[in-house]
Structure 1
Amino acid sequence: MGSCQRSLRANTPQGERVGLANSEEIAAGAVLEFSVLVMADELMPAVKEWLSYGKLRGLGQWRNSGKGRFLCEILEERAAELADILE
């Protein structure tokens, strides 16, 4: 892991201000595995759309610069199995 910094400038009524934005970063190619529990079947298309958007913009405060982009792979959908757990 590393650190990514950039300066932020703003003109305010009190004059020009300069700040420093600092974020942790991880090397390209890192893998994150997690589960998402969707509580209603009709929300599944929206969740898939949100996850697929990550390849275009990414996530986090630096997403507009192209950092934080990711690919999502759905390994399995277990709707029936999860329905049994929730009952």
Structure 2
Amino acid sequence: MTKKIEDFPQEIQQNLVDGAQQIFVTAFNSAVSDGLSEDAATEVAWNSLKPNYEQDADGKWHFKQASDTGIHNKAITTGGN
């Protein structure tokens, strides 16, 4: 059974910005399709947000600033001609 964001509790819907909602739902559905229980899939979904999102004091999840995510715009050079 594939879930949509509307299938989750209001708390989840209201506390996640749109991008985080999509990641949460995708991670949840993937985990369930891999055979995890809904509880385990929910944990996977929350953990999938943590690298790029953070929760503020009000419980809302926001995208982390680039310097906080470990993502750096670094050129990759390779050997060659």
Q: Which has the larger radius of gyration?
A: 1
* TM value normalised by structure 1: 0.24
The structure in which a higher percent of residues are helix is 2
Normalised TM-score (structure 2) = 0.26
Which structure's residues are more often strand, by fraction?
1
